[in-house]
Structure 1
Amino acid sequence: MTEKLFYENAYLKECRSKIVDILEENGRIKVVLDKTIFYPEGGGQPSDTGTIDDLKVSYVYEDNGIIYHCMEDRPKNKNVICKVDFKKRFDYMQQHSGEHLLSGAIFTLFNGNNRGFHLGKDYVTIDIDIEHMDQRMVKRIENLVNEYICRNSTIETHMVSKSESKKFPLRKPVKNGLKNIRIVQVPNMDCCACCGIHVSMTGEIGILKILKVERYKKMTRIYFKCGSRALEDFQEEHRIIMDLSRDFSVDTCHIEDSINSERNEIKDLLVENKHMRQVLAREEAKNIMENNSSNIILKGYDRKKFDQIKLIASIISKEESKKCILILYSTLDNRVLFANNLNVEINCGKLFKDNIKDFDGKGGGNVHQAQGAFSVKDDVIKFSNFLYSSVVSTVS
């Protein structure tokens, strides 16, 4: 059994330990100590990292009371100095403690139960068995949690038996089969069984900010940040807001109005642009039909995108008086369109499938139409010419 110093003092950053055993498994070294400050992954909380004799500890886990410290290098000494990455440790303590208060507030206000907890590097979530939460509920929850934080109450831990645990106001029952139960309690705020480590006082959480809520498997998933994470998030969002305020030349309180105005203007311009594209496509389609006596048309564009080419092809294909085979390509985005509405047996998709890879392209289609994309300009031109030659020889 490894002595768990992190339970005795969660703020301990360094200790001296003795190596009990060193195992090697799949190229990974696992060190067992007589006592450790490294918290092993568990209870939704990731493991600590740090060093043993200045050698990196990348992951820590517990199995049958023994804590294994996963390392890349084997320590040389029997007696070693352990140092935990306390910045990461304290961050986890803030997030995990905030999660307890958040779960407690939801249980108090709406009788909602925490069904899942994830403490990751980039975000923290809990899953609550309430299918829908509106913004009014979210605001009430957030306000109550931060009220809890401001009380700066002591976060207590108790190691008790299963029978003794029944004396505590637990918000969810203890799992069966447990003999010794570690209870984390903040009086009048939250109380539940938990193996994680936490800050000593609620004030150390700093602040809790709910970022968003979403429906998840008939529950509600809540994303939130506490302490330093919440501060960094606010600082970044504030930077963005100030940049927008400068760009729009308005006070921060008028940014939303300016963005809405720009959005409406963009919508109008998009409608106008779509109309102009259709007008230009019709003109180009008319020009192609009037100036090409052949029913096999090959044409490339270096200033039209593929979407414009597809629009031109669509207009020509609908013209009953001009049945033809179209090979239109764009060197602006290196794509080609191949369409056949002639009464000739040419399978556009098969022709692509059998040959396009020879030109370093990708694409496909059906009997009547296919399209492909290429990395370089020369390949789309060569493949388009190949299609034209293939069609001419077939039609002839």
Structure 2
Amino acid sequence: MTRKLFHENQYLQNFSSVIVENFEYRGVPAVVLEQTAFYPTSGGQPHDLGTLDDVPVVDVIEDEAGRIIHLLERPIRGQRVHGQIDWKRRFDHTQQHTGQHLLSQVFLRLCDAETTSFHLGADSASIDVNQAELDADTVEFVEALTNQILYENRDVIIHHVAQDELSRFPIRKLPTVEGVIRLVEIKDFDYSPCCGTHCASTGEIGMIKITKVENYKGGSRVYFLCGSRALKDYQQKGRIIQQLSETMSSGEADLPAHLGKLQDELKTLRKERQQLAQQLLEAEARALLPERETIGKMFVLKKRFEQRPPKELRALASMIAEQAPQTVVLFGDSYEGKASLVFARSNDLSIHVGELMKQACATLDGRGGGQPHLAEGGGAAVEKLDEALQSGLNSLKEIKTWE
């Protein structure tokens, strides 16, 4: 079993040790040391990073035998090594982990909400609690009390307790291991079995900010930031608010009202734009009618466009087919490097334009189809777009039902 220096002194950043094993772990160079300050991934807390004799440590795991295995970027030589912990990463994890203990106890006391899991990532941390629909006032109250306890700078005390002595402590959750239990106490406030690294006092957490709460699996997922992460988030949001204030010539407190006004104006403009676009489309539809050619008792409008969005082309074809009797519309378009087709016909004709579309798309090395009165398709062969349109027209000329 490896001696865990990180439990003896969580502030230890440098250490030396004898190499006990030097081998490959699942194809990756690895060593087991007699003692180590590198924390392995466990208890929701990610592993430490750093170096052993200037060789980067890429992962740290603990096996069932209690060996702490250091996975390396490249093999290491020699019998002894000097270890260097990435302290910025370690202290960040320590702040988040101690903050989580504090936050979980406050949720339990104020909301009777037990923490069911803890997630600590590179940029965010969260807990899942077994209570849903946490309103904004409740969350603010939880956040306020959490920071109040933090500001009291309570000691964080480590106890090593035998299994049969646990009943002496008001523990928040039962341990998942047997034997002597490592119990982390936030003085007179929280008692929780934990193997992670923790601050010496709550003041070292800096601050705790709840950033988001969402319903999750019948409970709630609470996202939070502690210490340097909270400061960084506040600085970033401060810059954003300042930029918005300057851009809109508005005080911070007035921003919501001004943004609401802008949203209303935007909705009005979008509605007006849609109305204008519809009017333009109707005018274009009327202007295209003289371009129809006559085939027997039927009119056919065949036309190629460039860079017209398929949705707009479909609307134009449908509009013409709805307004002009005895009419078939054959539209083609080269849009974003692909060929697209839209075929439509008026309701007084029995032609199935979906069948015409399948034949035309075969020319484009593509596919398509649709309903009897409206069909869409396309393919990659843009250079054959005119040929595909002509294919649709030729198919119409072969139909005898309209004569």
TM-score where L is the length of structure 1: 0.91
- What secondary structure sits across from 1:212 in the alignment? strand
Cα distance change on mapping 1:329 and 1:202 into 2, 3 Å? same
Q: Which residues of structure 2 form unaligned runs of 5+?
A: 398-403
**SS of 1:139's equivalent?**
helix
Which residue of the partner structure matches residue 319 of structure 1? 323
Gaps of 5+ in 1: none
Aligned residue type for 2:320: I
The residue that corresponds to 1:308 in the other structure is: 312
Q: 1:228-377, aligned counterparts within 5 Å?
A: 228-294=228-294, 295-302=299-306, 304-319=308-323, 321-329=325-333, 331=335, 336-341=340-345, 343-344=351-352, 347=355, 350-351=358-359, 354=362, 356=364, 358=365, 364-366=368-370, 368-372=374-378
In the alignment, the residues of structure 2 paired with residue 355 and residue 192 of structure 1 have an alpha-carbon distance, to the nearest angstrom, of 70
1 CA distance for matches of 2:363 and 2:13?
65
Distance 1:392 1:309, change over 3 A: closer
Q: After TM superposition, give the deviation of residue 369 of structure 1 in Å.
A: 1.2
Q: Note if contact 2:102-2:146 (Cα within 8 Å) is conserved in structure 1.
A: yes
Does the CA contact (< 8 Å) of 1:338 and 1:370 recur in 2?
Answer: yes
**Two-structure CA RMSD over aligned residues (Å):** 2.2
Partner of 2:218: 218
Return the TM-score normalized by structure 2: 0.90
- Corresponding residue for residue 204 of structure 2: 204
TM alignment of 1:126-205, pairs within 5 A: 126-175=127-176, 178-205=178-205
CA 1:302 to 1:345, structure 2 compared with 1: closer, same or farther past 3 Å?
closer
Answer yes or no: is the 8 Å Cα contact 1:305–1:332 preserved in 2.
no
- CA distance in structure 1 between the aligned counterparts of 2:359 and 2:260, rounded to whole angstroms: 48
**Match runs of 1:78-93 below 5 Å:** 78-93=79-94
CA distance in 2 between counterparts of 1:278 and 1:178 reads 73
Identity across matched positions, percent: 34
**Counterpart Cα distance in 2 of 1:344 and 1:365:** 10
Cα contact 1:184–1:192 (8 A) shared by 2: yes
Aligned residue type for 1:181: I
Distance in 1 separating the partners of 2:117 and 2:51: 31
2-side partners of 1:136 and 1:364: how far apart?
54
SS in 2 for 1:159: strand
Q: CA deviation at 1:115?
A: 0.5
User: Using a 3 Å threshold, how does the CA distance of structure 1 residues 345 and 315 change in structure 2: closer, same or farther?
Assistant: closer
Which amino acid letter does the alignment assign opposite residue 355 of structure 2?
A: N
Counterpart position of 1:39? 39
Query: What CA deviation, in whole Å up to 9, does each residue of 1:28-70 have, x standing for no partner?
Result: 1121111000000000000001111101101101012001111
Question: Which piece of structure 1 moves more, 83-92 or 253-262?
Answer: 253-262
Deviations 1:91-126 (CA, angstroms, capped at 9, x unpaired): 000001110000011111111100111000121110
SS at match of 1:220: strand
> In the aligned structure 2, how far is the partner of 1:328 from the partner of 1:322?
20
* Residues 343 and 357, structure 2, Cα contact 8 Å, conserved in 1: no
User: Alignment partner of 2:18: what SS?
Assistant: strand
Separation of aligned partners in 1, 2:356 and 2:120: 52
SS at match of 2:168: coil
Q: Please say if residues 307 and 333 of structure 2, whose CA atoms lie closer than 8 Å, have aligned partners that are also in contact.
A: no
Q: Do the aligned partners of residues 34 and 330 (structure 1) sit closer, same or farther apart at CA in structure 2, a change above 3 Å counting?
A: same
Following superposition, the deviation at residue 355 of structure 1 comes to 5.0
- Identify which range, 362-371 or 139-148, moves more after superposition: 362-371
Asked if 1 retains the 8 angstrom alpha-carbon contact of 2:104 and 2:115, the reply is: yes
List, as ranges, runs of 4+ consecutive aligned residues in structure 1 with deviation greater than 6 Å.
none
Query: Conserved in 2, the CA contact under 8 Å of 1:306 and 1:330?
Result: no
Q: Which residue number corresponds to residue 111 of structure 2?
A: 110
Asked if structure 2 preserves the Cα contact closer than 8 Å seen for 1:300 and 1:331, the reply is no
Which residue type is aligned with residue 99 of structure 2?
G
- In 2 relative to 1, CA 39–328 (structure 1 residues): closer, same or farther, beyond 3 Å? same
What one-letter code is carried by the residue in structure 1 that aligns with 2:234?
F
In structure 2, C-alpha distance between the alignment counterparts of 1:340 and 1:48, rounded to whole Å = 64
Deviation at 1:349, TM superposition (A): 6.0
Amino acid at match of 1:174: P
For the residues of structure 2 that align with 1:80 and 1:351, how far apart are their CA atoms? 74
User: What letter corresponds to residue 108 of structure 1 in structure 2?
Assistant: R
- Decide whether aligned partners of structure 1 residues 363 and 45 sit closer, same or farther in structure 2, where only a CA change above 3 A counts: farther
Distance 2:95 2:126 in 1: 14
Q: Is residue 14 from structure 1 mapped to residue 18 from structure 2 by the alignment?
A: no
SS at match of 1:69: strand
Alignment partners' CA distance in 2, 1:209 and 1:373: 52
Looking at structure 1, the residues matched to 6 and 368 of structure 2 have their Cα atoms a distance apart, in angstroms, of: 60
3-state SS of paired residue (1:166): helix
